[in-house]
Amino acid sequence: MEFSAIFRKKYGSFRRFFHMLLQARLPFLWIALDLAFSFGIINIGVSATEYSAKLYAGEVDFGTVVLPFLVVTIISLVLGSLSGIVTNVCTAFMNRNLRRMVWRKAVRLPLSFYDEGGPREMISRITQDTTSISNLIMRIIIPIITGAYSSWMILQKISTYDAALMWSLVAILPVYVVFNFIMGRLNFGLNDLINLRNAQLTAAISEKAGNMMLVKTMGTEESELQAGVEKMEASYKASVMSTAIGQISQPMHTIAYLLQTIVTIMVGRGFYASGAITLPEWIAYYGFASQLCNLLADYLGYWASFKSIQGATDRVSQIMDAPSEETKTGEAAGNLAGEITLDHVDFSYGEVPLFQDLSITIPAGKITAIVGPSGSGKSTILNLINRLYPIQGGTVSIGGKDTAKYSLATYRKAMSYVTQECVMYAGTLRDNLCQGLKRSPTDAELDEVCETAGILDYVKSLPEGYNTFVGEGGASLSGGQRQRFTVASALLRQQDLLLLDEATAAMDIDGKDRVWTGIRKVMAGKTVVFVAHDGQTIRNADYIIVLRDGAVEAAGDREVILATNPFCMEMMSMKEEEAD
């Protein structure tokens, strides 16, 4: 039973792999062209070896030997160059198509997929693992085909000299395979150890070099020096061992090669001595035999690289196999001004249930705060209203209508959600403010939302204004400034529903005050739901919902909740003693 399970698993990954290749739109025309060139080069190469053998043997007639030799030399030069270009272009097309494929998929994957693997992982899937797949095709699969063709051509050529010589050579091929296999195994384990030690060194160094402030303020320079040196020495020892073993194995490689050569010579010698083959044929045979030997060595190399590429292809094919988020099907969402209700909702991120049978009503046209201790599920409520994760039971409805009926694309566009991360991209301030916006707002419009978010003065102080470039991730801005721009960007969407998750947490006291005054004005009569954990922000709510451990502890008008709920009383208390 176990065996069949393994078989199914293997079969599954092959099925995924071929399924992925089908989706990838490989550049078949270029692949065919590449193969054609390779076959041409192999044919020319066989002739070139023969003519040079004749030259070596002293057959120097200009018309029958020298001239044809020069012609094949030039043809192989031209073909070789063209074939190189074709291979490179083919690889470039393949990389592009594979990357396009993965990116198209990545954009549509549900958020839960990113939570599992970590988003950073996806970067190397797109940029590097795709290269591994094209390597698999261009450097392994295609060479296996051309290598087989080349071997066949060589053996065929030798059989024209003497069929028995050809069969003798075939008979000793397994000897080569065994030699090469043994040699191939020698260095394996050691490289893994070196890679491990180097990875440990890099990890240790990056952890500390990224936190120099802590090292300095703790005064731990000397112990860090010692710890780093230990890792360096571990890496050094692994490398020394590998160098030593590598060099010891060198004479063994030599002996293996010698044995191959001697066997080859012994086989050919008899034929040459008996006059079955001529001197030029002997020279050609000697050349061909070593070519064949190299081809076999390559084949064993392919297997090793295939193993290392397998991981990368498997991860990409898993991504391609994962279900996408369906964003287009469903009714178009319009007005989301109504009351929001979570009705008997069950939800969990993983194994542990977060909400069980949770029911909440968020009043329309008011500002509602969701508060509670960390881990109580505050942000999750916003995520579920935005339908970032599918709920496992119950319904989320707005204005009495089940939100699952709307198409995701129109639904999410119909509201604004400012997440904790407040994402900004490398680009101008204008680009960042207009993220996800189809229309191009006027400067006056931008001024208005920036004024509300309390960042207009800053924009005006910049010589380039809205065309100022911010670095990767908005690196040139402070946390408070990024939050202000993100709020401004959300306001630009002019929706009836605004969700804010700790959207003003990094702002100073004046900043918070100003932004909230602005939000109250702009969103008057519209629905705002926010998560916050500081008293100053919560004071802006009309209605408060207190969550604890995934359940509603209390809900009601601000004045009532602040006066009666212990959690809120403690939070709002001015003197700590009063909380006791």
Partner 1 sequence: MSEKKVKKVKKSRYSFSLKDLIRFYTRFSIPWWMYVISLVLGLVYSELLIRQAEFTIAFNKGELFNSTIINFALLYIASSIVAALENFFSGIASLKVTLRARKTVWNKILHLPMEEVDRRQPSALISGITSDVGQASTLLTMIFLVVSSIYSLARAIIEVIKQNYTMSVILVVIIPLGILVFTFVGRVEHEVYKRNVTSFRTMTEYFSEHVTAAKNVKTRAMEDQEEEAGLKAIDAKFKADLYSAIMGQIQVACFSLYNRIGTVFTAIAGSSMIRAGKMESTGITDFDTYLNRVYQYTSEILTQYQSLRATQGALQYVGDMLEGPQEELDKGESAPEKVGDLTLEHVTFGYDQAHPVLNDLSVTIPAGKITALIGSNGSGKSTLLKLLQGVYKPDSGVIRMGGNDVAAMAPHALRKEFGYILQNNPLFSGTVRGNIMYGAPKATDEQITVAAKMADADGFIQELADGYDTDIGEGGKNLSGGQRQRVAIARTLLTEPTYLLMDEAGASLDHKSDTTIFRSVRENLKGHTIVVVAHDMRSVVEADHIIVLDHGTLEVQGSPDELLKTSPTYRSYLEKQGYALAGEGAAR
Q: What is the DSSP letter of 324?
A: P
Sites for partner 1 among residues 439-458 (CB under 8 A): none
| Residue 100 or 310 having the CB closest to partner 1 | 100
**Contacting residue, 283, 391, 541, 545, with partner 1 by CB under 8 A:** 283
Q: Does 25 bind partner 1 (CB under 8 A)?
A: no
**Contacting residue, 64, 127, 187, 335, with partner 1 by CB under 8 A:** 127
Sites for partner 1 among residues 214-233 (CB under 8 A): 214-221, 223-225, 228-229, 232-233
Closest CA to 249 of 303, 306, 195, 187: 187
**Contacting residue, 36, 60, 178, 182, with partner 1 by CB under 8 A:** 60
Q: Does 57 bind partner 1 (CB under 8 A)?
A: yes
First to last CA, the chain: 63
Cα gap 481→461, rounded to integer Å? 14
**Contacting residue, 6, 22, 29, 70, with partner 1 by CB under 8 A:** 70
- Smallest gap, in angstroms, from Cβ of residue 303 to partner 1? 26
Which tokens in the block code for residue 2? 């176990």
Residues whose CB is less than 8 angstroms from the CB of residue 175 and which lie 6 or more positions away in sequence, other chains included: 259, 260, 263
Are 372 and 378 a contacting pair, CB within 8 Å? yes
Q: Does 196 bind partner 1 (CB under 8 A)?
A: no
Q: Does 180 bind partner 1 (CB under 8 A)?
A: no
Q: Does 408 bind partner 1 (CB under 8 A)?
A: yes
**Contacting residue, 21, 26, 65, 450, with partner 1 by CB under 8 A:** 65
Between strands 527-531 and 367-371, the pairing is parallel
Between strands 497-501 and 416-418, the pairing is parallel
Between strands 427-428 and 416-418, the pairing is unpaired
Q: Give me the residues paired with residue 361 across strands.
A: 341
C-beta atoms surrounding 461 within 10 Å? 8
Q: Does 349 bind partner 1 (CB under 8 A)?
A: no
**Contacting residue, 29, 85, 175, 178, with partner 1 by CB under 8 A:** 85
Closest CA to 102 of 320, 309, 314: 320
At residue 470, the 3 state secondary structure works out as: strand
Q: Does 541 bind partner 1 (CB under 8 A)?
A: no
Sites for partner 1 among residues 253-272 (CB under 8 A): 253-255, 257-258, 262, 265, 268-269, 272
Binding span for partner 1 by CB under 8 A among 146-154, 301-309, 371-379, 518-526? 371-379
Q: Does 36 bind partner 1 (CB under 8 A)?
A: no
Q: Does 323 bind partner 1 (CB under 8 A)?
A: no
Residues whose CB is less than 8 angstroms from the CB of residue 353 and which lie 6 or more positions away in sequence, other chains included: 346, 347, 550
**Contacting residue, 346, 513, 542, 557, with partner 1 by CB under 8 A:** 513
**Contacting residue, 363, 373, 399, 465, with partner 1 by CB under 8 A:** 373
Q: Does 203 bind partner 1 (CB under 8 A)?
A: yes
Cα gap 99→270, rounded to integer Å? 56
